[in-house]
Chain A
């Protein structure tokens, strides 16, 4: 079959790879219909996550049709249209039973790597390096889905394919930021990042009752899209002071909840960015936590900061003093998608949650390299490239 493979740093190519097989009783095979790029893929492309092998199939946000099920699969059958959560979950360990699905104990086949890096291993994920299980990704004609009953969710008829694909990762990740960030009715919420996850976090905050939602980015086209889709307020940090604008918007308090949806290769302006660039190039710092610093600094006293962006290791100049002395709650997670996807599909079906506008560039998988180039360089107002199969 054809698949988009990581062949080296900034080198992805469509290759012929063997078809996936059922390897476990609880596996199923999905014929992919749509698979989208994600900002976190860029950390693989740039070599920021050094646990890739040439020939690894990338991609983790997808939907498709079930074509084969193992004897241990009870909830799905061939012909079902499903969205597959990017995180694979067994559904029965302590973490899954407590709806912390991305922390599943039984799905990372290479646990020693992340146990040594982080003290414990999160669950496995499709197409996201051998540190996260080495599972083949979704930019392929077919994907093997382990623990299929708990990893895939059937799509209601009222939800079209393009809307459903974002229920795989972007929408549940964004929702989780607002939910576990503790957004309450009347809150003012600031979201750093106006990509797909940031926009979904902003919409989730609205639906959870936030009175004002303010989205921060450096690309006008992304901010305009968030304004048009959801009616949020926006700040372009390239030409406006984020701190002063947020203070003005909140009567001098600061936002109640700050959601970071940027990740480890954040951009900024001024000397702080140059400092982080130099340190990360010299390998004296693994990640650039610029948006996290801003979120902590600008959050109101006693407020909450949720980190949705992907980080890999150690950071420098973490504002621990601000966090402690302002009494903040700081929390982060990879997405616990299984907890939210059924609810999100219902909200998409009812029209309450719009997602399909995120797909700005739809193209066949054969153009996968171009899709990543557009996405990475933010060319042609690209928010997400989505591959058809």
Chain B
């Protein structure tokens, strides 16, 4: 990769990291509010089809508070959880997304095999993608 390429990739990854840091600071500032908020997905299934919860979520049963309610406008069922034990919000986001995929599509799509020689910038990007399943805006 040429120098300009490395610079652009570095800027992209650095930008994503900076965004993550800003958001982390914002979350810290929000303090109690952030940790009390429900993490939520809408499953495109009727409420009775969401129970029993898939293993992806049921395994945390003792560590979380759960709410299940119909979504507005026949959009399915809202599945809401928040931690009351040791489970992290990162782990819960991952579990919620996987549970939704199992309930809707029958399985969780696995990522393809990663390239064998990602290079320094690719390795930096992997630091982002390795955590991307449990990050984001739930």
| Closest chain A CB from B100 CB (angstroms) | 7
Cα–Cα, bound, A84→B52 (Å) = 35
From B13, B116, B117, B119, A50 is in contact (CB under 8 Å) with B13
Q: In which size bucket is the chain B interface?
A: 35 or more
Q: Give the contacting residue for A54; candidates B104, B113, B119; CB below 8 A.
A: B119
**A25→B107 CA distance, assembly (Å):** 8
Q: Are B111 and A55 in contact (CB under 8 A)?
A: no
Interface size on A, residues (CB 8 A): 53
Separation of A21 and B112 alpha carbons in the complex (Å)? 9
Known: A26-B107, A134-B111, A147-B105. Contact between A54 and B117, CB under 8 A? yes
Chain B CB within 8 A of A119 CB: yes
A9:B4 contact, CB within 8 angstroms: yes
Q: Are A109 and B131 in contact (CB under 8 A)?
A: no
B44 near A9: Cβ-Cβ < 8 Å: no
Q: In the complex, what's the smallest C-beta–C-beta distance from A268 to chain B, in angstroms?
A: 23
* 8 A Cβ contacts from B1-41 to A: 1-2, 4-5, 8-9, 11-13, 16, 19-20, 23
Q: Write out the residue numbers on chain A whose beta carbons fall within 8 Å of the beta carbon of B110.
A: 23-24, 109
Contact mask for chain B residues 64-82; partner A; CB cutoff 8 A; 1 contact, 0 none: 0000000000011000000
Cα–Cα distance between A142 and B124 once the two chains are bound (Å) = 28
Are B2 and A90 neighbours in the complex by a CB distance under 8 Å? no
User: Is B136 within 8 A of A55, CB to CB?
Assistant: no
Residue of A nearest to B138 (CB): A115
Contact at A9–B136, with CB atoms within 8 Å? no
A8-B1, A116-B19 in contact; A94/B105 too (CB < 8 A)? no
Contact of A389 with B by CB under 8 A: no
* Residues of chain B within 8 A of A119, CB atoms compared: 137
Contact present for A55 and B122 (CB under 8 Å): yes
A74 → B minimal CB distance (Å): 12
CA distance A267 to B42 in the complex (A): 41
Q: How far is the CB of B114 from chain A (nearest CB, A)?
A: 7
Contact in complex: B100, A116 (CB < 8 Å): no
Q: Which residues of A contact B19 (CB under 8 A)?
A: 116
Contacts of A110 in B (CB 8 A): 111, 128-129, 132-133
Report how many A-B pairs have Cβ atoms within 8 Å. Answer: 158
By the criterion CB–CB under 8 Å, are B9 and A50 in contact? yes
A residues 66-100 near B (Cβ < 8 Å) are 72, 88, 90-94, 97
On whether A112 and B8 interact (CB within 8 A), knowing A53-B119, A94-B44, the answer reads no
Q: A113 touching B129 by the CB < 8 A rule? A: yes
- Alpha-carbon separation in the docked complex, A116 to B138 (Å): 11
Interface residues of A in 9-34 (CB under 8 A from B): 9-11, 17-18, 20-21, 23-26
**In the docked arrangement, what's the CA distance between A30 and B109, Å?**
17
User: Do residues A111 and B136 form an inter-chain contact, with CB atoms below 8 A?
Assistant: yes
Known: A50-B8, A56-B115. A112 touches B100 (CB 8 A): no
In the bound complex, residues from chain B placing their C-beta under 8 Å from that of A20 are 112-113
Minimum-distance CB pairs A-B, first 5: A50-B12, A55-B115, A8-B1, A53-B122, A112-B135
Other 20 A-B pairs with CB < 8 A, given A53-B115, A105-B44, A113-B128: A7-B1, A8-B119, A9-B1, A9-B2, A9-B5, A11-B5, A47-B4, A51-B12, A55-B115, A105-B100, A105-B101, A106-B108, A111-B132, A111-B133, A112-B128, A112-B133, A112-B136, A116-B136, A136-B113, A147-B109
Q: What are 17 A-B contacts with C-beta separation under 8 Å?
A: A7-B1, A9-B9, A11-B2, A20-B113, A23-B110, A25-B106, A50-B8, A52-B9, A53-B122, A92-B44, A111-B133, A112-B128, A112-B134, A113-B128, A130-B128, A134-B112, A283-B11
